[in-house]
Amino acid sequence: MNENDDIRKVIIFGEHFWEFYNKRTQKVKDRINWTIKLIKTVGRISEKYFKNIKGTTLYEMRIISGSNIYRIFCFFDKGRLVVVLNGFQKKSQKTPKNEIKLAERLQKQYYDEKEN
């Protein structure tokens, strides 16, 4: 499958994602890359891998590697473009509010910069 077959385009906004990504082991990076490819190429993605955060326009990519759980926030722009924001290692049942707030600030920054 080549890039022209992709259903969605995925872009990375800012440095938050890369700061998170570059600190991960190769095994975790491979899982992240696999999940991004899934989002790009599969029409209907299972909530096991990609889920809306209630009360927001944000989604979280859900990555599990061994006993570690990771979340990467993203959102849709123009329906088919997925913009990846920030990620973190999940250590409790609930997603930390500060991580959601950061993603919402980055989303706002994305739209503000896009208008200029």
Question: So what's the pLDDT on residue 3?
Answer: 59
Tokens, residue 111: 């739209």
Q: Give the integer Cα–Cα distance in Å for 104 and 37.
A: 24
Per-domain boundaries in the chain? 3-115
* Whether the Cβ atoms of residue 2 and residue 36 lie closer than 8 Å to each other: no
Question: So what's the pLDDT on residue 80?
Answer: 86
| Pairing mode, strands 68-77 and 59-65 | antiparallel
Which architecture does CATH list for 3-115? 2-Layer Sandwich (3.30)
Instruction: Return per-residue pLDDT of the chain as tens, 116 residues.
Output: 455 678 999 999 999 999 999 999 999 999 999 999 999 999 999 999 999 999 999 999 999 999 999 999 999 998 888 999 999 998 888 888 899 999 999 999 999 998 87
Residue carrying the six token digits 């409790």: 92
| Burial of 43 from C-beta contacts in 10 A (0-12 / 13-18 / 19+) | exposed
